[in-house]
Amino acid sequence: MSSLKVNQDTFEKEVLQSDIPVLVDLWAPWCGPCVALATTVEEIASEYEGKLKVVKLNIDENPMVAANYKVMAIPTLLIFKDGKVDAQLVGLVGKDKIERKFKSLI
């Protein structure tokens, strides 16, 4: 399974009301580091299917979500647990660093 695309309308249902932790990839198509990080995000989505939900949110199309979470730079990864941000990673980060942030939640 690959990551799920979410928007302002589906964010609450897919992220905030999720029964399992959620990794949210905030990105934009013009962002080089975002495109580079996409492969890693997809790997995580496949490897942790059923334990971690992975969603992608295009900030150009959904600026209100980015503003609500004070996202100032992309790529930003937000890790949600029980509807709240548990961790945040900014920039092009490695898979091991991302995994360390959510492994204790699953």
Domain ranges of the chain: 4-98
Handedness of CA 6, 25, 78, 31 (dihedral sign): negative
Band (pLDDT 50/70/90 cuts) for residue 54 is very high
Three-class SS state of 39: helix
- Domain 4-98: which CATH number of 3.40.30.10, 3.90.1150.10, 3.30.1550.10, 2.40.30.10: 3.40.30.10
Strand 76-81 with 22-27, pairing:
antiparallel
- Catalytic residue annotation: 31, 34
Distance CA(32)–CA(50), nearest Å, equals 29
pLDDT attached to residue 2: 79
- Higher pLDDT: 89 or 2? It is 89
Kindly report whether the peptide bond that precedes residue 75 is cis, defined as omega within 30 degrees of 0: yes
Band (pLDDT 50/70/90 cuts) for residue 51 is very high
Closest to 20 in 3D by CA, of 65, 86, 93: 86
pLDDT, tens only, 56-97:
999 999 999 999 999 999 999 999 999 999 999 999 999 999
